[in-house]
Chain A
């Protein structure tokens, strides 16, 4: 499990859009979905058009539409990242307690989040590095992982300095325990199972061994590889 793996050729692996596109295929028709800030926000544009999906915004909107043109942006219609959004026909506004009833009460089907680390048993760390002078800020992350039925993580396979993000045990403070169901990285799609992390898909040109070399815990090769 060395992090000194040989460099992959440039262009190998999925880019951010391709990762989001791969994840979007797993969002079924009729799903209620919460997308986290950052890369998860890319997913909405790739959901196939024949599927009707409702996007939940933690600050009080069910039925988020695409970002508006700048001149149509309304500072009172924003998403969790505090960026302007639109509301689709059939959308609903509600207050924060109702919004988190949807999250905490198990009414949202899928949540897509970024990650700093995921452990082999599905623990997620995505809110704090735990550094002494860091300003702790948790937002709705702990509510989402505690309450949403299915948690998908979308993230680069390693950090910018090449450290694995899928690890034996998280060293950063946890967002939740045993909450992650599936991880979509630039190299692979990995299911968290009771037996451990199972690679169910590889990016074009990437081998299981290359993924394993960039992972901090033992992977299992799925039957479909």
Chain B
């Protein structure tokens, strides 16, 4: 019998190891798996490379993981947003590394990684500082840069509904990086607002098929990052 359900966020992240590469879903707070990230803070895992579009806000969730000194390197497209002070401060102090990747290239690198494609060519970033050090090639009269597929040891993702097989549905624009991250990690860990009985999700509607998911943990009422930031909450 296949049963990917996991009792708690702590149990779900219990094997994330020092030095791991971890993809963390979300675009701003939408789709950010805040309970899984807090469990990773509790666990104290260090020297992480984190792949995420942003760097969190306030001092909760991803920003708190960074503040806690657990991240040595960020791979992201937009490391500063409203209320994000933790990353900029550490970056200016030279205490965290940054690999800046255009957002579409970031998504496609994960898609390629998940699909077993080691590299691809894109026109994005041609003629800019972000092409530096990358192989170039001309196709059909246009210049392209080569980008590498991206894989991770773990992905932490937030979805809306899941079943014991790991089939997932998402909510609105909180879907964002979730589906591609699920495909690109060796171990994909998903928090959902409800685990539903197997067989009740219409196969026509499944967004992430369970083959891409290893663990599903139910968090019925996830914390809302922007609300915590407004209240000045710090984690832990």
When the two chains form their complex, are residues A97 and B108 in contact, meaning their CB atoms are under 8 A apart? yes
Q: In the complex the two chains form, what is the Cα distance from A138 to B183 in whole Å?
A: 24
CB distance from A120 to the nearest CB of B (A): 16
On whether A82 and B81 interact (CB within 8 A), knowing A60-B173, A104-B108, A143-B124, the answer reads yes
Q: Which of B27, B122, B172, B207 contacts A104 (CB 8 A)?
A: B122
When the two chains form their complex, are residues A174 and B127 in contact, meaning their CB atoms are under 8 A apart? yes
Q: In the complex the two chains form, what is the Cα distance from A87 to B172 in whole Å?
A: 9
Q: Which of A59, A133, A136, A174 contacts B30 (CB 8 A)?
A: A59
Of B3-11, B42-50, B86-94, which stretch is located at the interface? Answer: B86-94
Contact code string B118-149 (vs A, CB < 8 Å = 1, else 0):
00001111111110000000000000000000
10 contacts between A and B (CB under 8 A): A59-B30, A60-B172, A75-B225, A82-B30, A96-B103, A137-B77, A137-B79, A143-B102, A143-B103, A143-B104
Most chain B Cβ neighbours within 10 Å, of A57, A135, A141: A135
Q: List residues of chain B with CB within 8 A of the CB of A143.
A: 102-105, 124
Question: With an 8 A cutoff between CB atoms, is B162 at the interface?
Answer: no
- Closest residue of B by beta carbon distance from A143: B104
Total of A-B residue pairs, C-beta within 8 Å: 143
On whether A96 and B180 interact (CB within 8 A), knowing A135-B91, A140-B102, A142-B124, the answer reads yes
Q: In the complex the two chains form, what is the Cα distance from A140 to B125 in whole Å?
A: 10
Question: With an 8 A cutoff between CB atoms, is B151 at the interface?
Answer: no
Contact code string A130-150 (vs B, CB < 8 Å = 1, else 0):
000101111111110011000
Most chain A Cβ neighbours within 10 Å, of B88, B173, B225, B226: B173
CB distance from A88 to the nearest CB of B (A): 13
CB distance from B61 to the nearest CB of A (A): 13
Q: Which residues of B contact A (CB under 8 A)?
A: 27-31, 53, 77-82, 87-88, 91-92, 98, 100-108, 110-111, 122-130, 170-180, 207, 224-226
Number of interface residues of A (CB under 8 A): 39
Q: In the complex the two chains form, what is the Cα distance from A143 to B147 in whole Å?
A: 13
CB distance from A41 to the nearest CB of B (A): 15
Q: In the complex the two chains form, what is the Cα distance from A175 to B127 in whole Å?
A: 8
Q: In the complex the two chains form, what is the Cα distance from A97 to B176 in whole Å?
A: 8
Question: With an 8 A cutoff between CB atoms, is A19 at the interface?
Answer: no
Q: List residues of chain A with CB within 8 A of the CB of B79.
A: 135-137
Q: In the complex the two chains form, what is the Cα distance from A61 to B170 in whole Å?
A: 13
On whether A146 and B123 interact (CB within 8 A), knowing A135-B91, A140-B102, A173-B128, the answer reads yes
CB distance from B236 to the nearest CB of A (A): 23
Q: List residues of chain A with CB within 8 A of the CB of B30.
A: 59, 75-78, 82
Question: With an 8 A cutoff between CB atoms, is A58 at the interface?
Answer: yes
Q: In the complex the two chains form, what is the Cα distance from A87 to B107 in whole Å?
A: 23
CB distance from A151 to the nearest CB of B (A): 13
Question: With an 8 A cutoff between CB atoms, is A103 at the interface?
Answer: yes
Q: Which of A93, A97, A138 contacts B77 (CB 8 A)?
A: A138
Q: List residues of chain B with CB within 8 A of the CB of A74.
A: 172
- Closest residue of B by beta carbon distance from A128: B129
9 nearest A-B pairs in the assembled complex, by CB-CB distance: A100-B104, A143-B104, A177-B127, A76-B174, A96-B107, A82-B28, A95-B179, A140-B103, A97-B111
Q: In the complex the two chains form, what is the Cα distance from A99 to B178 in whole Å?
A: 13
When the two chains form their complex, are residues A139 and B103 in contact, meaning their CB atoms are under 8 A apart? yes
- A153-174 CB contacts (< 8 Å) to partner B: 173-174
- A78-123 CB contacts (< 8 Å) to partner B: 78, 82, 87, 93-97, 99-100, 103-104, 123
When the two chains form their complex, are residues A93 and B92 in contact, meaning their CB atoms are under 8 A apart? no
CB distance from A172 to the nearest CB of B (A): 11
Q: List residues of chain A with CB within 8 A of the CB of B175.
A: 60, 93-95
When the two chains form their complex, are residues A104 and B29 in contact, meaning their CB atoms are under 8 A apart? no
Q: In the complex the two chains form, what is the Cα distance from A97 to B29 in whole Å?
A: 19
Q: List residues of chain A with CB within 8 A of the CB of B91.
A: 135
When the two chains form their complex, are residues B173 and A140 in contact, meaning their CB atoms are under 8 A apart? no
When the two chains form their complex, are residues B103 and A100 in contact, meaning their CB atoms are under 8 A apart? yes
When the two chains form their complex, are residues B173 and A78 in contact, meaning their CB atoms are under 8 A apart? yes
Question: With an 8 A cutoff between CB atoms, is A176 at the interface?
Answer: yes
When the two chains form their complex, are residues B78 and A139 in contact, meaning their CB atoms are under 8 A apart? yes
